[in-house]
């Protein structure tokens, strides 16, 4: 008899709290929808992949990296981002903060994914895979590479455009502080690509390369560059 009474009480409690559960569910749904529909005004573009909202929040486009200002196509990338978002309302998706506490996001303007446009047009490289669009962005970048668009064209060089300047300054993709230089006669020289948008460059002398912060690669020890 007692067990039956407990069961009745539990059923009554369940029935009485059901409206509360429904209300909480609806509230969470509305909050999620409001977050999706929230839009922000872009006040100022800082560089090719970073901008400031009118709320003074700095936002960086997630999963991509454009050249720094002053490097190959860096200023052009900033100009393109200005055309795409400055003074416009945007939506932020897949938001997170990186190790430097910068706000990263997929950025949409009128339904267009800005991250995608910059990659597709050759203004950006895909440098991470944290968002739901990362794999697709990498596929788009591979197409841009095949077509030698933007940074994958004029900024990516195997032969020097500076006469007599054949030393290749290379920056490791795994460690940006690892800056090495190679010259003809060093074993990996022919396969080394100079990516100007990443801060790599051609040099006319070993001294010039070293002044720019590059160190002679181990493959080049006991050798000297001669024009």
Q: What is the pLDDT of residue 157?
A: 96
The reply to whether 23 falls in a domain is: no
The reply to whether 109 falls in a domain is: yes
Question: Is residue 34 very low, low, confident or very high in pLDDT (cuts 50, 70, 90)?
Answer: very low
Residues 87 and 175 in one domain: no
The mean pLDDT value for 183-188 works out to 92
pTM: 0.80
Domain extent at residue 215: 156-220
Token output for 88: 């416009």
On whether the CB atoms of residues 123 and 66 are closer than 8 A, the answer is: yes
Question: Is residue 82 very low, low, confident or very high in pLDDT (cuts 50, 70, 90)?
Answer: very high
Token output for 169: 């300054």
Is residue 20's pLDDT more than 80?
A: no
Is residue 127's pLDDT more than 60?
A: yes
CB-neighbour burial class of residue 166 (10 A; exposed 0-12, middle 13-18, buried 19+): middle
Residues 198 and 163 in one domain: yes
Q: What is the pLDDT of residue 15?
A: 72
Q: How far is CA 161 from CA 35, 45, 164, in A?
A: 50, 32, 9
Q: Domain boundary residue among 103, 118, 152?
A: 152
CB-neighbour burial class of residue 43 (10 A; exposed 0-12, middle 13-18, buried 19+): middle
Residues 78 and 142 in one domain: yes
Token output for 225: 């560059």
Question: Is residue 189 very low, low, confident or very high in pLDDT (cuts 50, 70, 90)?
Answer: very high
Give the rounded percent of residues in the chain with a pLDDT score beyond 70: 84
């Amino acid at each position: 008899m007692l067990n039956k009474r407990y069961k009745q009480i539990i059923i009554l409690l369940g029935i009485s709290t059901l409206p509360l559960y429904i209300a909480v569910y609806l509230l969470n749904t509305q909050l999620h929808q409001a977050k999706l529909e929230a839009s922000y005004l872009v006040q100022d573009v800082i560089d090719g992949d970073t901008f400031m909202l009118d709320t003074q929040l700095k936002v960086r486009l997630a999963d991509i990296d454009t050249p720094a200002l002053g490097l190959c196509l860096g200023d052009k990338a900033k100009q393109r981002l200005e055309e795409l978002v400055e003074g416009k309302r945007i939506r932020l998706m897949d938001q997170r903060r990186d190790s430097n506490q910068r706000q990263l996001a997929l950025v949409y303007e009128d339904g267009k994914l800005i991250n995608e446009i910059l990659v597709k047009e050759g203004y950006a490289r895909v440098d991470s895979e944290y968002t739901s669009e990362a794999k697709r962005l990498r596929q788009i970048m591979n197409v841009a590479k095949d077509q030698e668009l933007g940074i994958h064209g004029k900024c990516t060089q195997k032969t020097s455009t500076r006469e007599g300047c054949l030393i290749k300054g290379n920056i490791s993709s795994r460690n940006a502080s690892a800056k090495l230089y190679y010259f003809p006669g060093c074993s990996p020289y022919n396969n080394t690509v100079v990516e100007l948008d990443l801060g790599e460059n051609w040099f006319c002398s070993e001294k010039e390369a070293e002044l720019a912060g590059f160190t002679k690669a181990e493959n080049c020890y006991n050798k000297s560059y001669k024009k």
